[in-house]
Amino acid sequence: MNFTIDVRGINKHFGDKHVVRDLSLQVREGEIYGFLGPNGSGKTTSIRMICGLLTPDSGEGTCLGFDVLKQSVEIKKQVGYMTQKFSLWDDLTIAENLDFVARMFGMPERKNVVAEALEDLGLSGRKDQLAGSLSGGWKQRLALASCLLHRPKLLLLDEPTAGVDPNARRDFWEEIHRLSASGITILVSTHYMDEAERCHRLAYIAYGNLLTSGTAEDIVAAQHLTTWEVSGENVHDHTEALRLIPGADQVTTYGTALHVSGKDAGKLGAAIAEYGKSHALWVGHGAPSLEDAFVHLMRNAHDQFENK
């Protein structure tokens, strides 16, 4: 099996803060690998170290066949990096932005490269439009086009769909899967559970520690949760009371219903059935979701920086 990324025991400190702790990760060639976790958890730092944009303090491993500690320059040449904040030039047109980026990469036959990028990302009809006048979805598409100009083997996307509408998000993910199918390996950080489920595999990082990794199905199954759905009139008034019933580890809101989850299926099942009956609420078996799994994981995660 070909691994684009294969690292072990990666660490990073900023001053007295140990922001990434003993990270070990393997990512297959052509895989879409998702990074999830709360803000400040070390997701972006982890990705930047793996991709040669930041040097680890310690650890070992390779990215694209190059040593992550000693050959960051070679790694960066084959990486496309799309930041969360739009970082191109508002007062240049789409075509001018792409031409400028191609010049920075010193690409031969710049005109052909730019024309191909415009066509591939559906930007040809807007090539003369100023970047500053674009909607969030079109800015996102332009940013992706600029990342792909030098034909990277690894694409790094840092919360790429923040602030774009659902249609633009859907189209973006269709493009990501097309790129993956062509052999490009993709690392993406996101806060959206539906986007996480579009990834081939996931890693969940909290406060510098890798809590779990695997497919979405594997991560949910590994928590051994049983989940019940509760609905009815003024159901949200029962949130705190449901947290106190035997076997309930967590209660989360899902629209007009509540998800009550726990590891002791027998104890929780009996308690929630009795509670629903006595309070005239509908109670039914539900399937634990990826969000349920991550909420459960965070219950035991400690924020090492909260008092610093």
* pLDDT, mean of residues 75-84: 88
Region for 151 from its dihedrals, namely left if φ exceeds 0, alpha if ψ lies in -120 to 50, beta otherwise: left
Q: What is the pLDDT of residue 2?
A: 85
CATH annotation of 3-217? 3.40.50.300
Q: What is the pLDDT of residue 56?
A: 93
- Better-predicted residue by pLDDT, 228 or 43: 228
Q: What is the pLDDT of residue 1?
A: 62
At 201-221, the pLDDT tens digits run 999 998 889 999 999 999 999
pTM: 0.87
**Nearest 5°: phi and psi at 272?**
-75, -30
Give percent of the chain with pLDDT exceeding 90: 64
Torsion angle, CA of 153/187/185/83, rounded to 10 degrees? -30
CB 259 within 8 A of CB 287: no
Token pair recorded at residue 296: 């459960």
Distance CA 49, CA 7 (A): 10
At 15-24, the pLDDT tens digits run 989 999 999 9
The region of weakest confidence among 9-23, 34-48, 122-136 is: 34-48
* pLDDT, mean of residues 254-266: 93
Topology at the third CATH level for domain 224-287 = Alpha-Beta Plaits (3.30.70)
At 52-72, the pLDDT tens digits run 889 999 999 999 999 999 999
Residue 308 above 70 pLDDT? no
Task: Indicate the domain borders of the chain.
Answer: 3-217, 224-287
Token pair recorded at residue 242: 């449901």
* pLDDT, mean of residues 224-241: 95
Residue 297 above 60 pLDDT? yes
* pLDDT, mean of residues 37-52: 85
